[in-house]
Structure 1
């Protein structure tokens, strides 16, 4: 009962601006997936490897929550990157290393819909000394779009 109330009330609280998230929803790209969270991340991982990028970590947030007797539902984060694309960003501003490598979250929402989500790279780098027109930002945007599309494909 409490879990249902929290899942129902949290979006309303955020919509009202109380405890506002660090990133506005319009900077988070989400796509519906017809697969389970694990299957979606498996497909994403395969697409990342096929693209020649490196997988740094796969974080199972749901299992982490269960390990402390809490319920989060299915939620996994894949951390990956390509030094040929990320290194120029960190050369422009070493603090870009705070947000790199790239991250994609697959999760099951309160209605049971599985989604993938990521933050638009241009917005991610807004706080750093990085030109919005940098070629590597376009490359990251294209890679995230293509990889997440592959992950949610039937």
Structure 2
């Protein structure tokens, strides 16, 4: 599902930990690099709070992202690319930004828009692969 916020959310079909692992494996299989995983749930616990499973995976390929950043330096605030894996009462979800949102937010031109589209297509493939993987 997608909306005007520039976010796409799809539903996963396995448990949370396996989904995060499969996102990272799919990133590597696509030739991209996982730069970091931010475990928001662990951070919440350390702060004495509760939060359902929520992990942000930051990934990218500098030859793609650099084109965007070179055109509009502000793109660096949204790169590397991110996939948020989170769990609600019903299922595990995967959420990512659309290329259109990035282009509108930063006012990138034709070359940057093409690079943003490549990032979105790759991110969608990673999410769909991780969401559809079976144990």
TM-score (norm 2): 0.89
Paired residues in the alignment total: 130
Q: Which has the higher contact order (CA 8 A, sep 6+)?
A: 2
Instruction: Give distance in 2, aligned partners of 1:146 and 1:32.
Output: 13
Structure 2, gaps ≥5 residues long: none
Alignment equivalent of 2:57, drawn from 74, 78, 85: 78
The CA deviation string for residues 74-124 of structure 1, in whole angstroms up to 9 with x for no partner, is 011100001111110011111111110000001111x23110001112202
Alignment equivalent of 1:98, drawn from 77, 97, 101: 77
| Equivalent pair of 1:122/1:132 in contact (CA under 8 Å) | no
User: Is 1:116 aligned to 2:118, yes or no?
Assistant: no
Instruction: Give distance in 2, aligned partners of 1:82 and 1:89.
Output: 12
RMSD after superposition: 1.6
| Equivalent pair of 2:5/2:101 in contact (CA under 8 Å) | no
Consecutive aligned runs of 4 or more in structure 1 exceeding 3 Å deviation: none
Report deviation, 1:68.
Answer: 1.3
TM-score (norm 1): 0.78
Structure 1, gaps ≥5 residues long: 1-23
| Equivalent pair of 1:86/1:136 in contact (CA under 8 Å) | yes
Superposed counterparts of 1:1-154, under 5 Å: 27-109=6-88, 111-131=89-109, 134-153=113-132, 154=134
The CA deviation string for residues 114-143 of structure 1, in whole angstroms up to 9 with x for no partner, is 100011122023222302672112201110
**Which stretch of the first structure deviates more once superposed, 50-59 or 121-130?**
121-130
